[in-house]
Amino acid sequence: MNQLRQMLQRLDGKGYKAYKELTGTYRENELLLHMDHIQSDPFAAPSRIRIEVRGMVIEPEWLATPWRRTAIEDFFARYAAEMIRSNQARNGGSGKSGAIMVDAPGQAVLARTAARVSPDTLELRLSVGLPAAGRTVLGRAAAKLLCEQIPAIARQTAQGFDRRKLLAHLELADQQAAIRAFLKERGFAAFVANGAILPRESGVSSRPMRGREVIPFQSPASLEVEITLPHRGPIRGMAIPKGVTLIVGGGYHGKSTLLQAIERGVYNHVAGDGREYVITDDSACKIRAEDGRRVEKVDISAFITNLPFDKDTQRFSTEDASGSTSQAANIMEMLELGTELLLIDEDTSATNFMIRDARMQALVAKSKEPITPFVDKVRQLYEEHHVSTILVLGGSGDYFAVADTVIMMDEYRPANVTAEAHRIAREIEHGRRPEGGRAFGRLTSRSVRSDSFDASRGSREKVDAKGLAKIVYGTHDIDLTYVEQLIDPSQTRAISNMLVVLANRLADGKTPVAEMVDKLYALVAEKGLDAVSPFYGKHPGDLALPRKFELAAALNRLRTLRVQ
C-alpha cells in the first residue's frame, strides 16, 4: 500500500491514462486491494476494485445453506452501502471523481456479486471514480481515496457490523425457506401472512405504504393455515391452494395489489418490507399481452388455430404479435421452461384471449374465430399438466364454473366466496358453449440454433444492459418492459452476460431450450454468478441472479433468435 501511495504522488498532474499503471494488487496488514480495471477517462464507467478483509470470524452455520449464503452476502452488501453513504466525502473534480459505489440491494434479497463471504474473508466489489481535474490525475486525492477512505469503509463493514442484525437476517431467510417447503409439501401455490402490508408507497417505489389508511392483510378463516417457523414459532395467514384461483371484487378494492404481492413472492424480502412473509411458488410466472413483440416458432395451437392465409400456429412466428398471439406465446414459452403457476390480471390481458361470451359466439361462428379463449383451457391446463392459475377478474363471471377457489377483495380485505360463486354459476346460465376441445394440447420444446446470436455492431460485438428493461444486442434491442418479475437492473446485466454464455457455449441447435438454460444454471450453482461475468476472476461485482424464466424471456425476445 505504501508503494501505491508513492505511485499516486508520482502520477499527480499527469494525463488520466497514467492511472493505468495502478492495475494490480496491494497489501496492508489484513487488507488486499485489487485494482482490476482502470477507467480510461474520468467520464467513462468507473474503475472496478475489490478489497478483501481477511481474518474475520464467520461462523460455519452462517454459510450452512444456499439461502443463508445469499442472505449473508446480501447483508454485507447492504452494510457496505450504508458505510459508503456515511463516510463518502466527494472532493469535486471531473466526471465521477471520488465516487465510491457498491451494487446495493433493494427490498428483495437476491444472490448478487457485490459481496463475497468465505469462512475467514469478506470481499467487497466496488466501483470507484479516480480523481481528476479535467483529464489530469489528482494523485494526492486518489491516495486518500484508495489508501485511507476505502480501507476504512472495508474495515468498518467487516468489523463493525451488528451481530444481532446479521443473525435476524439469517433467521428470516430460514423462515422464508420453511414457508417455501411448506407450500411444496402441502400443495399450495402461495402464502400471504396475516399482518402483511401489500400496498407500495408509489408506482415507482417498492417500499411499503405508510399511514392510517393502510390495511394489514387478514386471511379469511376458511383459507387460513398455521405454519411453525424456526426461530419464531407459529405464523398464520392465507394459503392459496393449487388449481384455478380467481381474485375478484370491485375496482380499487385491492385485487391487483394482492396479485402484485403474490408475483413478487417468488423473491424473499427484507424485514420491514411488509411482504417478508408473502411467499409464492418460485416457478410462478406473470403473463400479460405484449403487442408488437417478436415470436419465433412457438406452438400456440392450444389457443389459436386456423389463422387466415393458413399461417402455421404449431410453429408460429411473427415480427409484430397481436395482444392475443403474444399472450398465447408468453404462456407457452413459460410452460416450456417448466412453470407450475401462471399469474394473470385481466387489466393487462387481451380481452378476446380471455373470454368469448354467448352473444359473440352467436354472431361469429367458431369456424370463423381462430382464438380459443383461456376460460376454456385453464381447467385442462391444471388437470393435464398440473399448472395452476391465479387470475384477477372484475368483468367476467364465466370463470366461476372452472374455478377451485374464489377470493373477493372488499376494501383490501379478502373473503372466501367460492361457494357463492359456484352457486351463481349453477343458477345463472351464461349461455356460452365451451370451445376448448377435450384436451389442452401439446407442449412443444424448441432448440436454439447457434446462428441466433449475432452481436456484431460495426467492427466489434456489443451486448450491454441499459437499465432494468433494455438489453442492446448487436444492432437490436431486447425490450423487457413487460417482463414484470424482473426487478433489479443488476439482474438485467446478468441476463446480458448469460446470453453471451448461451451463444458461445450452449446453443447447438439440438439441446432443448429448457435443458440449455438448466445447464447454465447448473454452472452458476457450481461456480457462482461470477462465472457468467466477462470480468470472471477479477471484478464481477454488479450482477444479481435472475430466475431462469426472465432469462428465457429475454432470449425469446431476441430479434435474431432462430430455433428448431
Res. 148: pLDDT tops 90: yes
The string of pLDDT tens digits covering residues 390-439 is 999 998 899 999 999 999 999 999 999 999 999 999 999 888 999 988 99
Domain boundaries, the chain: 2-161, 169-208+215-444, 450-556
* Beta bridge pairs of residue 532: none
Spatial separation of the C-alpha atoms in residues 473 and 465, rounded to whole Å: 9
Query: Residue 121, Cα to own-chain centre: how many angstroms?
Result: 28
Res. 539: pLDDT tops 80: no
Q: What is the pLDDT of residue 96?
A: 83
Which three three-digit cell numbers place residue 503?
Answer: 451463444
Which three three-digit cell numbers place residue 269?
Answer: 424480502
Mean of the pLDDT values across residues 60-70? Answer: 97
Q: How confident is the model at residue 535 (pLDDT cuts 50, 70, 90)?
A: confident
**Which of 466-470, 520-524, 533-537 has the weakest average pLDDT?**
533-537
Mean of the pLDDT values across residues 357-373? Answer: 93
Spatial separation of the C-alpha atoms in residues 446 and 332, rounded to whole Å: 11
Mean of the pLDDT values across residues 516-528? Answer: 96
Res. 528: pLDDT tops 60: yes
Q: What is the pLDDT of residue 538?
A: 65
Res. 92: pLDDT tops 70: no
State the maximum Cα–Cα separation within the chain, in Å, rounded to a whole number.
88
Contact by Cβ (8 Å): 147, 31: no
Closest CA to 560 of 481, 475, 488: 475
Q: How confident is the model at residue 75 (pLDDT cuts 50, 70, 90)?
A: very high
C-alpha angle with apex 88: 87 to 92, nearest 5 degrees? 150
Q: What is the mean pLDDT of the chain?
A: 95
Q: What is the pLDDT of residue 537?
A: 59
For residue 212, give the 3-state DSSP assignment: coil
Ramachandran angles phi, psi of 225, nearest 5°: -130, 165
Res. 90: pLDDT tops 70: no
Q: How confident is the model at residue 463 (pLDDT cuts 50, 70, 90)?
A: very high
Which three three-digit cell numbers place residue 96?
Answer: 465521477
Q: What is the pLDDT of residue 37?
A: 92
E-state strands within 1-120: 24-28, 31-37, 47-54, 100-101, 108-109, 115-118
Amino acid at site 464: D
Contact by Cβ (8 Å): 83, 161: no
For residue 454, give the 3-state DSSP assignment: coil
The string of pLDDT tens digits covering residues 24-45 is 999 999 999 999 999 988 888 8
CB atoms within 10 A of CB 542: 23
Those residues whose C-beta lies under 8 Å from the C-beta of residue 285, and which sit 6 or more positions away, are 334, 339, 341, 342, 343, 485, 549
Res. 554: pLDDT tops 80: yes
Res. 89: pLDDT tops 70: no
Res. 270: pLDDT tops 90: yes
CATH topology of domain 169-208+215-444: Rossmann fold (3.40.50)
pTM, rounded to two decimals? 0.95
